[in-house]
Amino acid sequence: MLKGLAAFVISALCVWLFIIVFGQTFPSAQLHEVGDFAANSLLIDDAKHLKLLVGHYSRVGFNHPGPALLYALAAGEIVFFDLSHAVASPFSGQILAVALLSAFWIAAIGTLLIRMQQATRGATAAAVVTTALFVGVTAYINYQAFAGPWFPHLYYFAFAAFTVSVAALIMGRADGLMLLAVSLGFLLNGHASFLGMTAVMLGCALIANTWISDRSGSGETWVLSRHFLAGNVRTIAVALAIVALFLIPLAIQTILHFPGPLAEYAAFSHVHRANRLVDAARFAGVFWSNGLFGILLGAAACAVLVTNDPARATMKAASRLSVHCRWR
């Protein structure tokens, strides 16, 4: 286990250095905040004194659910500017923290993909190629996500990690629950819309897992079964505790200012007209407007996963074992 942890830490640090060097994030540069970044720095100052209980300010009149990302930026400012003086300005420390957080998500995604493909030959190579393709698509279309302190960029890799861990949940795997909990916690703290979005995704994942387990006749992969819950009770308990930890600021805000932020979000949703599905699709299309190249790379990454189906490899191994036993 220690060997695996060391490999993960080294991988994350290497990705972090890669982002810094190729992103030309020079520590000697004097960077200063303006606009939203300056407003965030005021909140980060509270986070540095452990007084922050809210997320960043929204343009529609309320703060988002939690301060997790702001505490991450505050940690970068403390470590890289206040203590080590490795950078020339506090904002530069925040940017290095964003790069380190992005490196953590990328390394975590790659590690989980390796585990999801571990029953197949060349699992590590397939997972590394898939992760590299994902990173390449991101660099081509949205390179600011690697070290950009703008909050929509901060959600990007966290949401990618959440999506991969949801895929592991659909497969009936428990080894993605820790990443699921951490990524979910950051997303719930990051933006009010993730409160509903992640709930829908998790609900659909449980339905898909139930359907797949029923078709395959394997109760061991059914997440809601007694066998799965009993066999992974400690992992599930730790994952739930992590999510609860991320929700503590929201709970405190609700107690101190009842009915709290959730009532504000609900009030906004009642008066806000929801976008049509066509409008949402058109908006998503704008993100992919950089060309067909990114879509093709994404399709290639999906193809790598499809052609390395661990379930199919397990069935082949079981078949070979059955034949071997009959001959013996």
Residue-range definition of the domain harbouring residue 258: 19-122+150-271+291-318
**298: pLDDT strictly greater than 90:** no
> According to the model, what pLDDT value does residue 295 have?
57
Residue 264 in any domain: the answer is yes
Residues 6+ apart with CB under 8 A from 253: 53, 54, 260, 261
Global pTM value: 0.84
- Is the peptide bond preceding residue 249 cis, with omega within 30 degrees of 0? no
Residue 53 in any domain: the answer is yes
189 is written with which tokens? Answer: 């703290």
What DSSP string runs through 161-210?
HHHHHHHHHHTT-STTHHHHHHHHHHHHHH-THHHHHHHHHHHHHHHHHH
61 is written with which tokens? Answer: 């009149």
25: phi then psi, degrees, rounded to nearest 5? -90, 85
**317: pLDDT strictly greater than 70:** no
d(CA 256, CA 263): 13
- Cβ 140 vs Cβ 293: under 8 Å: yes
Residue 259 in any domain: the answer is yes
What DSSP string runs through 98-138?
HHHHHHHHHHHHHHHHHHHTTTSTTHHHHHHHHHHHHHHHH
- Tell me which H or E stretch contains 91: helix 90-116
Residue 246 in any domain: the answer is yes
> According to the model, what pLDDT value does residue 290 have?
52
Q: How many domains does the chain have?
A: 1
Residue 13 in any domain: the answer is no
307 is written with which tokens? Answer: 């052609």
Residue 63 in any domain: the answer is yes
SS3 of residue 224 by DSSP:
coil
Mean pLDDT of 235-239: 96
Residue 68 in any domain: the answer is yes
Rg of the chain over Cα atoms, rounded to whole angstroms, equals 22
**44: pLDDT strictly greater than 80:** yes
pLDDT tens by residue, 158-214: 999 999 999 999 999 999 999 999 999 999 999 988 999 999 999 999 999 999 998
**29: pLDDT strictly greater than 80:** no
pLDDT range class, residue 43, cuts 50, 70, 90: very high
d(CA 323, CA 254): 62
- 308 vs 157, higher pLDDT: 157
Residue 219 in any domain: the answer is yes
Summary mean pLDDT of the chain:
84
Residue from 16, 188, 190, 180 nearest 97 by CA: 16
135: phi then psi, degrees, rounded to nearest 5? -65, -40
